Amino acid sequence: MNRIDIKTAFFIAYKTIVKGHKSTVALIVFILSLSFFNLMFVSGFLYGFSDGIMKSMIDNATAHIILMPQEVPTSKSFIFDQDAVIAEISSIPGVVGAVRHYQLGGTLVYDKNNDGNFKYSSAQIIGINQAEEKKIISLNKAIVSGEFPDDLKNDEIVLGANLSGGFGTKQTKDLGGATVGSKLQINYSNGTTRTYTIVGIFSLSMVGSVASTAFISDSEAEKVLGTYNNASEILIRVDLEKNTLEQYMARIQGLFPNLKLEKYTTRLSTVGILITAFNLIAVIVSIISIIVSAITIFVMIYINALSKRRQIGILKAIGIKENIIEVSYIFQSIFYSILGIVGGLLVIFLIVIPIMAVKPIAMPFGNAVLVYTSFGITINIVSLIIAGILAGYLPAKIVARENILKSIWG
């Protein structure tokens, strides 16, 4: 097609829209706006759900990067001289902070009524320095009973609600409702036994195994393990606006080539499966919304073309080429698609997002938000326009190729 053909096709499309029924145009645009709104809202909500879970994991459990002891050529139990390691990591531009953990295993023993009816629960026990920990991990904000003191004493312990029991949690192996101020015993896997006073209980949802974890002081962990100034792991929080996660990991790995590095995503476990499922649902919903939009355009263009068979026949009789007529309907499809996209975007950004900011939807990890990226929005827009072009071209092609006399006489 040359430039004149394109102008002719555009003129025919313009006149068809202007001379057409306004109610029909409004109906098409309304349906497409709803379809695009559904595409944007559901995908944004599901991606927001996944993003919220990931953020909760970073804030409450893993930070961004986990540094672990050497595995090859020989396996080590600890990261040695952790003070020096953390100091070197903290000197990297963009690193927000780094903290050490001691990881221990043991069985918690609790007698709620002091009547000899003991409850047992195996759990991961982590030794931390809470004064440093809270700089990169926000677990202290999830306390539902008691407190998470900065100077956690050697005979004090903080429990997850899934471990203590109560607070709306239902676990098959909890302590049956341990409360702040009561005492429990831990039989560590190395044979050591200690008694602790519960000073705090925190509650988290959708954040993996951390909700079933117990926390003691790092100095107490060193006494139990018989070590000093080492670490079972080091959590590292970074500023992702300055560098990518991969760049930080490469820098850290270069400093400590023998130590093992993990991204926070490797610890998502069952939560990771849930995130994958929601992302898949978002993709499926997006595809369905695009198909619905394409079918809507196809039906409306086909009906419109059939109702104008005589005009199409006359246009062909006076020398208008078939491909010009086909392109004119493609222009109409693009017009309807763009109006539908604009309508959907206006509803999302001018109505839905402001309403959710005022009246947020509470979720287990916090308030639900709609998460969009420029790339994601562009993909949705381009997908709908392409679907519209195809849906407009097919019916126009069918009608435009009819015999001239048959079109004119119906």
Which residues neighbour 235 within 8 Å (Cβ) at sequence distance 6 or greater? 62, 63, 65, 66, 67, 98, 99, 100, 101, 136, 137
> What's at 392, amino acid-wise?
G
Q: Is the pLDDT of residue 408 over 60?
A: no
Lowest mean pLDDT among 52-66, 119-133, 236-250: 52-66
Above 60 in pLDDT, residue 405?
Answer: no
- Return the structure tokens found at 132: 């440093």
pLDDT for 170: 63
**Averaged pLDDT for residues 338-363:** 88
- CA 103 to chain centroid, in Å, comes to 28
> 253-268, pLDDT tens digit by residue?
999 999 999 999 888 7
Q: What is the pLDDT of residue 205?
A: 74
Residue 350 carries which DSSP code? I
Closest CA to 60 of 240, 263, 243, 205: 205
Q: Is omega for the bond preceding 149 within 30 degrees of 0, making it cis?
A: no
pTM of the model: 0.76
**Confidence band (pLDDT; 50, 70, 90) for 209?**
confident
The arithmetic mean of pLDDT across residues 92-97, rounded, is 96
* Single-letter residue type at 12: I
Q: Is the pLDDT of residue 145 over 80?
A: yes
Q: Taking all residues of the chain, what is their mean pLDDT, rounded to a whole number?
A: 87
Q: What is the pLDDT of residues 277-311, one digit of tens each?
A: 878 888 888 888 888 888 887 887 777 767 666 77
Mean pLDDT of 71-79: 91
135 pLDDT band, cuts 50/70/90, is very high
* Mean pLDDT value of segment 351-365: 80
pLDDT at 3: 84
Whether the per-residue pLDDT at 85 is higher than 60: the answer is yes
Integer Cα distance of 271 and 53 in angstroms: 8
